[in-house]
Amino acid sequence: MKRIFADLHLRINPKDPAATQTAAAKAAELGYRLVGVPFSADTRTDEIVRVQKTCEAVGLDFVSRVDVRPRSQSDLVGLLRRLRRRFEVICVQCENKEVARQAAKDRRVDLLNFPQLDYHKRFFDRAEAELASSSLATLEVDIKPLLVLKGPQRVRFLSCLRREVGVALNFRLPVVVSSGISEPLLLRRPREVALLSSLFGLEGDVALDAVSTNALMLVARNRQKLSSEFIAPGIRLIKQGEDC
């Protein structure tokens, strides 16, 4: 079966229609069929719809995503309560251990992203992976740093990724590899991204799944939950009315 490739972190600027068109067209040209576009929590609905129409016009399945950067556990809980039904994917940018732990165990969180390049400021470890494996969260790895970093900084970053991905795989935690890119010139073909993933421990079909199947399953699961027919996991409304 032909793979459907996805980039869940294509950083399109919703306020720049020309840049949006360029980025979407480039992603489609390179072979992506589903893209997740991150928005801020206060983005207007009309801006989201405009980006959606631009993506769909070039044959892309559009996924609305929000990236949150909570400062505390209570801050995260409040954001999740407010945003869960507004966006198809919620990603938590984990910038401290308290937030990382809460995000890993909360079933309303889809993606765990660790944006810090400094080893001492990254908080993904065995405890984090164990919590996330029970809550259906997914570890997201952005490849942009691999394309822009150089020398010792790039080597240290790769070392972090190898450790984190190894921990995730040990706990059977899904990994999604995304671009994290806002400049179309830095976009790479999906199979090239999968090949880059071998640098931090993803090989063969596991690497390909990280740029296709894992993202697709996450999106499909969330779309089902956001459907008006969804009641609870495993329970769906089939028919409603007096004759039921």
- Within 8 A by CB and 6+ apart from 162, the residues are 199, 200, 201
For the cut 90, the answer to whether the pLDDT of residue 120 exceeds it is no
For residue range 216-230, what is the model confidence (pLDDT) as tens digits?
999 999 999 886 544
To the nearest whole number, what is the mean pLDDT of the chain?
A: 91
Rounded to an integer, what distance in angstroms lies between the CA atom of residue 160 and that of residue 119? 6
For residue 240, pLDDT over 80 is answered with: no
Can you give the pLDDT at residue 232?
42
Task: Read off the pLDDT of residues 28-66 as tens digits, 9 standing for 90 and up.
Answer: 999 999 999 999 999 999 999 999 999 999 999 999 999
Sequence-separated contacts (24+) of 17-23 with Cβ below 8 Å: 17/50, 17/54, 20/50, 20/51, 20/54, 21/54, 22/184, 23/182, 23/184, 23/187
Looking at residue 230, its pLDDT comes to 44
Confidence tier at 239 by pLDDT (50, 70, 90): low
Asked whether 87 and 111 are in contact (CB, 8 A), the reply is no
pLDDT surpassing 60 at residue 244: no
| Token reading at 151 | 């020398």
Helix (H, G, I), strand (E, B) or coil at 87: coil
- Stated pTM of the model: 0.90
Give the mean model confidence (pLDDT) for residues 63-79: 96
Residue 80 makes CB contacts below 8 A (sequence gap 6+) with 68, 90, 106, 108, 109
The pLDDT confidence band at residue 123, using thresholds 50, 70 and 90, is confident
| Integer CA distances (angstroms), 52 to 20, 34, 119, in order | 10, 11, 36
- Residue 122 has a pLDDT of 84
131 exposed, middle or buried (CB, 10 Å; 0-12, 13-18, 19+)? Answer: buried
**Confidence (pLDDT) at 118:** 80
pLDDT in the model for residue 185: 93
Query: Span 77-88, mean pLDDT?
Result: 95
pLDDT in tens, 144-181: 999 999 999 999 999 999 999 999 999 999 999 999 99
Neighbouring CB atoms inside 10 A of 72's CB total: 12
- What confidence tier does 136 reach under pLDDT thresholds 50, 70, 90? confident
> According to the model, what pLDDT value does residue 119 have?
75
Q: Domains in the chain and their CATH numbers?
A: 5-236 (3.20.20.140)
Whether the per-residue pLDDT at 238 is higher than 60: the answer is no
Instruction: Select from 175, 178, 174 the least CA-distant residue to 146.
Output: 178
Of the chain, the percentage scoring pLDDT greater than 90 comes to: 85
- For 3, phi then psi, to 5°, come to -75, 145
Contact between 39 and 87 (Cβ < 8 Å): yes
